[in-house]
């Protein structure tokens, strides 16, 4: 999409698509709008007006009922409860789990393998299962259902995909209902126990929807970061050497990977009041905006020579995790996973090399590799 973004961005920071929605392309305007309290996300009330039966599709419903698609005051309350359970201490406590799981996956990787299937796909789900307290034995089941549900994050899906998402939503809701009941009876050291406790103040429906969201929001997004970063390491052996010699370099490498190929390419908002874009341009209330995060991250006004991959850029701070009230709750976890995984891969598999043509995922919002053939022999 990057050449297209360049053309759009050089035309204007914001302009209308044929269907009345507006694209936002620059870093400055995207960052500003992400934080603008006058903008809202589509929520259950909006869905009621254009799709009265949306609750019948439980895949869609679980995401629409989650914090991702909720506005204040409910968003503020739910987000606060979730943030109180998803603490820095809990994330730091997952470092050992990440290292253990990543080590196991690398040890089991065949000499010629698809990196996505053998590593980038299973690692995030293992980590989310540990976070939520889902037993190891249920991981494969979880992974399949999370994958089926993820299509609802895309603007366009087939009827068959929507049916599969509905089924996955139903089964995940049943699963979490059971898990919540267990944890309410005998709490453990996991996020489900904390979120399900009486003092989180969430309703039963909010609890379910947000547990499903945590699973879905942290899955393919992180898979894409791991796949893209590994592809960049294969393409730039000098960066791989640096990272192998000094694992601390992983921090900047991960930030630049997030900037260079944003795993989430777009966030959507709607104007809740008239939006003044300057130069006499005003958008009426109810205008839908598509904030092109992937374009903002390649804006030459913010990042000189934007199409060059360069972890030494000062002050990278990509908008890949969004910004403002809906800023990604899992950003510290996603970063940690990648910061642990890349140096580990490079030291355990010093001869890791490409073994065929990678295939990009055929999606608009979630960008990353569907296949990344590698060999380590």
Nearer to ligand HEM, 61 or 264 (CB): 264
Nearer to ligand HEM, 157 or 223 (CB): 223
Q: Which residue has the tokens 């030291």?
A: 347
Cβ–Cβ contacts within 10 Å for residue 37, how many? 10
Nearer to ligand HEM, 128 or 275 (CB): 128
Binding mask 196-215 for ligand HEM (x = CB under 6 A): -----------------xx-
Q: Indicate whether 218 belongs to the interface with ligand HEM (CB under 6 A).
A: yes
Q: Indicate whether 326 belongs to the interface with ligand HEM (CB under 6 A).
A: yes
Q: Which long-range contacts (CB under 8 A, 24 or more apart) does 171-177 make?
A: 171/145, 172/62, 172/145, 172/146, 172/212, 172/215, 173/58, 173/62, 173/208, 173/212, 175/138, 175/142, 175/145, 176/207, 176/208, 176/211, 176/212, 177/208
Give me the least distance between CB of 377 and ligand HEM, in Å please.
Answer: 29
C-alpha pair distances (Å), 346 with each of 103, 114, 233, 351: 11, 16, 9, 8
Nearer to ligand HEM, 175 or 376 (CB): 175
Give me the least distance between CB of 290 and ligand HEM, in Å please.
Answer: 11
- Count the helix, strand and coil residues of the chain and give each as a percent rounded to the nearest 5: 60, 10, 30
**Residues 5, 17: Cα–Cα separation, whole Å:** 13
Q: Indicate whether 67 belongs to the interface with ligand HEM (CB under 6 A).
A: yes
Closest residue by Cα to residue 200 from 73, 333, 63, 86 = 86
Nearer to ligand HEM, 122 or 322 (CB): 322
Kindly state the number of chain residues that form the binding site for ligand HEM, as judged by CB under 6 A: 23
Cβ distance 30 to 298 under 8 Å? no
Residues whose CB is less than 8 angstroms from the CB of residue 214 and which lie 6 or more positions away in sequence, other chains included:
82, 128, 131, 132, 191, 329, 330
Q: Which of 25, 31, 200, 320 binds ligand HEM (CB under 6 A)?
A: 320
Q: Which of 153, 232, 296, 329 binds ligand HEM (CB under 6 A)?
A: 329
Q: Which of 9, 79, 145, 298 binds ligand HEM (CB under 6 A)?
A: 79
Q: Indicate whether 102 belongs to the interface with ligand HEM (CB under 6 A).
A: no
Binding mask 18-57 for ligand HEM (x = CB under 6 A): ----------------------------------------
Nearer to ligand HEM, 180 or 355 (CB): 180
Give me the least distance between CB of 350 and ligand HEM, in Å please.
Answer: 26
- If you ran DSSP here, which 8-state letter would residue 320 be given? T
Q: Take residue 152 and report the two structure tokens written for it.
A: 């609802």
Q: Take residue 285 and report the two structure tokens written for it.
A: 């209330």
Closest residue by Cα to residue 286 from 62, 49, 65, 63 = 49
Binding mask 244-283 for ligand HEM (x = CB under 6 A): -------------------xx--x----------------
Q: Which of 225, 340, 372, 374 binds ligand HEM (CB under 6 A)?
A: 225
Q: Indicate whether 343 belongs to the interface with ligand HEM (CB under 6 A).
A: no
Q: Which residues pair with 371 in a beta bridge?
A: 359
Q: Which residues bind ligand HEM (CB under 6 A)?
A: 67-68, 79, 128, 213-214, 217-218, 221-222, 225, 263-264, 267, 320-322, 326, 328-330, 333-334
């Amino acid at each position: 999409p990057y050449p297209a973004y360049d053309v759009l961005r050089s035309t204007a920071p914001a302009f209308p698509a044929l269907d009345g929605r507006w694209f936002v392309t620059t870093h400055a305007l995207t960052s500003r709008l992400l934080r603008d309290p006058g903008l809202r996300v589509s929520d259950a009330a909006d869905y009621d007006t254009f799709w009265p039966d949306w609750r019948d599709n439980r895949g869609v419903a679980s995401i629409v009922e989650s914090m991702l698609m909720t506005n204040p005051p409910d968003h503020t309350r739910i987000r606060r409860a979730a943030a109180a359970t998803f603490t820095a201490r809990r994330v730091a406590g997952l470092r050992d789990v990440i290292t253990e799981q990543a080590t196991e996956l690398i040890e089991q990787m065949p000499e010629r393998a698809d990196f996505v299937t053998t590593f980038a796909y299973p690692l995030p789900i293992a980590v989310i299962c540990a976070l939520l307290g889902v037993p190891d034995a249920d991981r494969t089941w979880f992974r399949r259902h999370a994958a089926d549900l993820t299509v609802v994050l895309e603007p366009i899906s087939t009827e068959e995909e929507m049916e599969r998402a509905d089924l996955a939503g139903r089964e995940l809701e049943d699963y979490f209902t059971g898990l919540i009941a267990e944890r309410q009876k005998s709490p453990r050291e996991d996020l489900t126990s904390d979120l399900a406790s009486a003092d989180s103040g969430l309703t039963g429906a909010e609890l379910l929807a947000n547990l499903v969201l945590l699973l879905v929001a942290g899955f393919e997004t992180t898979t894409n970061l791991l796949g893209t970063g590994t592809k960049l390491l294969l393409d730039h052996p000098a960066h791989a050497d640096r990272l192998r010699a000094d694992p601390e370099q992983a921090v900047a490498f991960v930030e630049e990977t997030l900037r260079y190929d944003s795993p989430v390419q777009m966030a959507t908002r709607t104007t809740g009041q008239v939006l003044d874009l300057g130069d006499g341009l005003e958008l009426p209330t109810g205008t839908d905006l598509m904030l092109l995060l992937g374009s903002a991250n390649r804006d030459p006004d913010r990042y000189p020579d934007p199409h060059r991959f360069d972890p030494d850029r000062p002050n990278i701070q990509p908008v890949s995790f969004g910004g403002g009230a809906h800023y990604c709750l899992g950003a510290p976890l996603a970063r940690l996973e990648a910061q642990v995984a890349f140096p580990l891969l490079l030291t355990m598999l010093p001869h890791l090399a490409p073994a065929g043509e990678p295939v990009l995922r055929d999606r608009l919002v979630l960008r990353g590799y569907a296949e990344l053939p590698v060999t380590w022999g």
